[in-house]
Structure 1
Amino acid sequence: MTDREKLIEQIDDFKSTVVTLIDERDKLQSEGEELRTAKREAEEKSWAAEEKLKEIENDFQKTKDEKDNAETELAMAKAELESVKTRAEEAESSKTEAVDAIRAERDELKKEMQEINDQLGRVSELYREASAEKEALAEKVDVSDLLAIYITLIETVFFGKPHARILYTLHDVKTAITRKNIASSTGIMPAAVLKAVHDLANADLVKYDDVTQEVELTKDILRRG
C-alpha cells in the first residue's frame, strides 16, 4: 500500500471517528436534554407533592379545629341544657309552693268570710230578737241598746277580721299607707289584705291606688280627733 493510500485510509478512519464522536455528542446532548426534562418533571412533581401535602395538612388542621369547636359547642350546649333543666325544676318547685300558698290563703279567706257571715247572721238574729221583745212589751226599739250591741260585736268579734283591723289601722295612722305595710303591721296575709281593701273600696270606706298600692280612708268612721 502506497503512502497515498495509507493517507486516504487514515483520513477515512478520521472521518469515521469524527462522525462517531459527533454521533456520541448528539447522543449525549439528547440524553442530557432527556435528563434535564426528567429532572424538571421530577422537580415539578416534587413541588406539586409539596403543595398537595400542605393542602392536606391545612385540611387536617381545619378539620381538627372544626372538631375542637364542635366539642366545645357540644359541651356548652350540654351545660346550657343542664342549666335549663335546673331552672325548670326550680320554677316547677316555686310554682307548686306558690299554688299551695294561694290555696292556703284561699281556704283561710273562705273560713274568715264564713265566720263574718255567721257573725252578721247573729247580728240580724239579735236585732230580730230585740225587736220582737220590744214589740211584745209594746215599746219602741231602743236605738242606744242596739248600738251598744253593735259596738260590743265590733270590739269583741269583728276586730279580729281583716276589714275591721284595716279600718282601725288606717284610723290610727290618719294617712295613706301601702298595702304591704298594712299586711306587715296587722299580720294579715297579703291576699286577705287585698280582698278586704277591695271590699272596703267598693263600700266607699277607703280609696285604693292600684299603682302605688296605697290605701286611704275616705271618711272618719270613729270621729276621733
Structure 2
Amino acid sequence: MNHTEATTAHHRYAVYFAPSPGSLGWLAGSHWLGRCAALLQPLQQLTIEGVTAEDLHRLTAAPRRYGWHATLKAPFALAPGTDWITLHQAVQAVAHKLQPFVLPPLHVERIDNFLALVPAPSHPANAAVHEAAAACITQLQSLAAPLGDAELARRRSAGLTPRQDALLQRWGYPFVLEEFRFHLSITGDLRQVDSQTQALVLDAAQEFFADLPTLKFNSLALFAEPTPGADFVLLDHLEMGA
C-alpha cells in the first residue's frame, strides 16, 4: 500500500475486482485502456488496422479513468465521521470472510453500447462472483455517504426500472444484487465512432483478449478518486480468506 496515498483523504472510493499489478491479466487490460492505475502512468495502446489511435483513445477514455477493473461497489463518498482507516479495515474484514476462487473464462461481449469482458454465463463460479459483490454492497454501505439529489437525478436519467430505482435509493447504485452483472469494461460508448470502426475494435478486442490467462479472484481492490473528475488510483489489494 502506498503510504502517501493511503493517508490522504480522497473524494470518493470504490471496491473493485482487479488483477494484481504486474500480472499478465493486469498488464493486458491496462495496455488496452492506455493507463496503469497502479503506476499512475499512460501505457502504449494496441495498434488496430483501420482504426485511428485517436478513435481508440477516445473510445477507451471512460474506462481508462476508472482503471482496469470490474465494479463490486461503485464509487462512493465516505459518510460523515468515517475515515480512510475505518474503510480499509472494513474492506479487509469483508475480504477475510470470502474464499478465493478462479474466475470463469472471460470473453468480449457488447453490453448495450459498450464492450466488456464477461464470464461464461452458466459457469458455477459465477455464484462466488455474486457472493463477493453482494458482500461488498451490503457490508460496506453504512460507511458510504447518502447520494445527493444531483447524483440521484443523474442515475435516473439513464432510465431505471422501479426495482433498479429502489436499489439505487437503498444501496447507492442501481445495478447491484440481482441486477448485478460482473464485467470489465474495455470501451465507453461505441456510438462515438462509426459502425465500421466499432466492428474493427470488437474484432481486435476479441483477438487481443483471447489469450488472457485464467484470472484468480483472490482479493478485493480498493481504488480512490483523489479529486472530483480525477483518474482513479489503486490504493491496495485486500487478500481474501483467513
Structure having greater relative contact order (Cα 8 Å, sep ≥ 6): 2
Is TM more than 0.5 here? no
TM-score by length of 1: 0.23
Identify the structure with the greater strand proportion: 2
> Which protein has the larger Cα radius of gyration, Structure 1 or Structure 2?
1
Identify the structure with the greater helix proportion: 1
TM-score by length of 2: 0.22
